Structure 1
Amino acid sequence: MAVLPELLRALSTGRVRVVDLTARLTPDVPVLRLPEPFANTIGFSLEEISRFDERGPAWYWNNIHTGEHTGTHFDAPVHWITGRDGLDVASVPPEQLVGPAVVLDFSAQAAENPDFLLEVDHVRQWERNHGPLPDGGWLLLRTGWDARSGDEEAFLNADETGSHTPGISPECARWLAEETLLLGIGVETVGTDAGLAPTFEPPFPCHSLLLGAGKYGLTQLQNLALLPTTGAVLIAAPLPIVGGSGSPTRVLALVEQD
C-alpha cells in the first residue's frame, strides 16, 4: 500500500494524532534576558496595517516585530561562534525538519531541583530501558517547565545568583554532540541550556558543543507530556530566513494511537 495515502487515512480516522508542541506567540511570551553589557532580543508584537477600514476596507493584516529566538524557536548552527561556518536556518535540509523523536521525562527531578541537569548516565539508563537514541532524530527533554510558560518570572526563575532552570550538563552535551547521530535536542525552557549555563565549562555547553557539531536546537516546547516515550515523529517548520541564526517555529508531532 502507498505510504502517503495510508498516512492521510490514519490522520483522518484519528489513528495518527497531531500534537502541537508550540507556544503561542503573544506579547507576553517569555524571552531570554542576558545581563549587561550584552544586547537582548525584542519580544513579540503586532503592528496593525489595516483592519477593514479606510487603510484597507476588505482586509486585515499586521507587521510582526520579533527576534529570531522568541517563543518556540529553532537554533541553527550559525547561531553560535563554534558553528559560525555552519548552516543558517534557510540552509537546513528540509528532510532534516522531519524525524523521529524520543522523550526523556525528568519532570519529577526538575520539580524537586530547578537546577537539575541531565547526565550521560541518565541517558544510558534510559537507553537500557527504551532502546537507542534515534539516528537522525531528536532527544526531547521533558522537565515540566512548560507549566510555567504563562508567567515570565516563574519561567526564567532568576535571582541574584542567576537563572535556575533545568537543562543538560556539559559532559552530557559533549557526549550528545560527539557520540550520537541525533539531529538535535528540544527543551521546554527558554533556551537549550540550563539557567546556570553561563557558569559552566564551556559556558552554554549545549549551544557551544551541539551547534558546533552541526546539530540543532528547539526551545520552549509545550505538551511533551502528550507524547509517547518513543515512536513520535517530529516536524519542525522554521521560517527560511537567509542568513538567519534561527526562527520562531511551529513544531508538531505525529503520534500513533493504540
Structure 2
Amino acid sequence: MPVLQDLLDALRARTIEVVDLTAPLHSGTPILQLPPPFANASPFELTEISRYDERGPAWYWNDIHTSEHTGTHFDVPVHWVTGKDGEDVAQVPAARLLAPAVVLDFAAESAKDPDFLLEVDHVRAWESEHGPLPDGGWLLYRTGWDARSEDAAAFLNADDTGPHTPGISVECAKWLAEEAPVMGLGVETVGTDAGGAHSFDPPFPCHSFLLGAGKYGLTQLQNLARLPATGAVVIAGPLPIVGGSGSPARVLALVES
C-alpha cells in the first residue's frame, strides 16, 4: 500500500522520528503509595528461571511479578468503580491504540507549584492558539515530572500532608470526560490525578470522570518535551490481559522531524 510504504520510507529517512515515551521498568520504578488500610500495588520484580546453566543451558529467561499499574501504564474504564461495567484492557479496540496527540506544556507552572492544577481555562487558552483538541486522540499533559522518575521520593513528593504532584482540577476532569473530544489523558506523574486528589470532591476526579465516561489514562510518560504541541501520533501498547484493569505499556510517539 502506498501510504504504508510512504511511512516506512519516512522512518528510514528519519523524516519521521520515533520518540519513546516509556519509563524503564525495574525494581526501583516508583509506584503509587496509598495510606492504610488500603492495599498497594507491587513493585516490579524479575525472578530468574535459567541463565545459560543447568536449568537451561542455551537460554536466559525470567518470571516477572508486578502490578497492572506499575511504571508507564494504561488505565481502562473497569479500573474505577464508575466504569465497572466498561472495557477491560483486553477489550480496548486495537484501532484505538494508535491515535493523534497534543501536548499541553505546564512544566514552568508545575516547577513553581508542585500542586498546580490544570483548569478548563488553561485548555481553552491552549485551543485558541493551537486549535481544537483531537477527536478520538490523547491530551498529553506535560509537567516536567519525568525528570524525577529515577528518584522515587522526589517523584512521589510526599510529606506529612500527603503527596504533592501536579494534576487536573475537578472541573477540568469533568469537562475532559463529558465535553472534550479526546479519548484519554496522558501524564508524567504516577497517576492521572493530582497528588492531593484524595481530598477533592469527588476524590480522584480524573479516574472517576474519565474512566466513568469510557475514556483511558496513560501514566508515568517520559520525553513529552520532545513532542510538538500538535501533530504527533501516539502508539500505546498494553498487554491484552483478560479481565485486567490496566497494563504496563510501551508508549511511542511518531513525530515529523
TM-score of the superposed pair, with normalisation by structure 1? 0.99
Q: CA deviation at 1:180?
A: 1.4
Q: CA deviation at 1:246?
A: 0.2
Structure 2 counterpart of 1:87: 87
Q: What secondary structure, in the 3-state scheme, does the structure 2 residue paired with 1:209 have?
A: helix
Structure 2 counterpart of 1:183: 183
Q: CA deviation at 1:61?
A: 0.2
Structure 1 counterpart of 2:2: 2
Structure 1 counterpart of 2:214: 214
1: CA distance between counterparts of 2:183 and 2:46?
Answer: 33
For residues 91-130 of structure 1, the aligned pairs below 5 Å read: 91-130=91-130
Percent same amino acid at aligned positions? 74
Structure 2 counterpart of 1:256: 256
For residues 132-147 of structure 1, the aligned pairs below 5 Å read: 132-147=132-147
Structure 2 counterpart of 1:43: 43
Q: CA deviation at 1:140?
A: 0.2
1:152 and 2:152 aligned: yes
2: CA distance between counterparts of 1:180 and 1:30?
Answer: 30
Give the ranges of 4+ consecutive aligned residues of structure 1 lying more than 3 Å apart after TM superposition: none
Q: CA deviation at 1:169?
A: 0.4
Structure 2 counterpart of 1:19: 19
Amino acid at match of 1:86: G
| Residue ranges of structure 2 left out of the alignment (5+ in a row) | none
| Residue ranges of structure 1 left out of the alignment (5+ in a row) | none
Q: What secondary structure, in the 3-state scheme, does the structure 1 residue paired with 2:42 have?
A: coil
Structure 1 counterpart of 2:244: 244
2: CA distance between counterparts of 1:180 and 1:114?
Answer: 25
Structure 2 counterpart of 1:74: 74
2: CA distance between counterparts of 1:230 and 1:8?
Answer: 22
Q: CA deviation at 1:229?
A: 0.5
CA RMSD of aligned residues (A): 0.6
1: CA distance between counterparts of 2:142 and 2:208?
Answer: 21
1: CA distance between counterparts of 2:234 and 2:174?
Answer: 23
TM-score of the superposed pair, with normalisation by structure 2? 0.99
Q: CA deviation at 1:183?
A: 1.0
Measured against aligned partners, the alpha-carbon deviations of 1:136-183 in whole angstroms (never above 9, x if no partner) come to: 100000000000001000000001111000000000000000001211
Amino acid at match of 1:118: L
2: CA distance between counterparts of 1:203 and 1:239?
Answer: 28
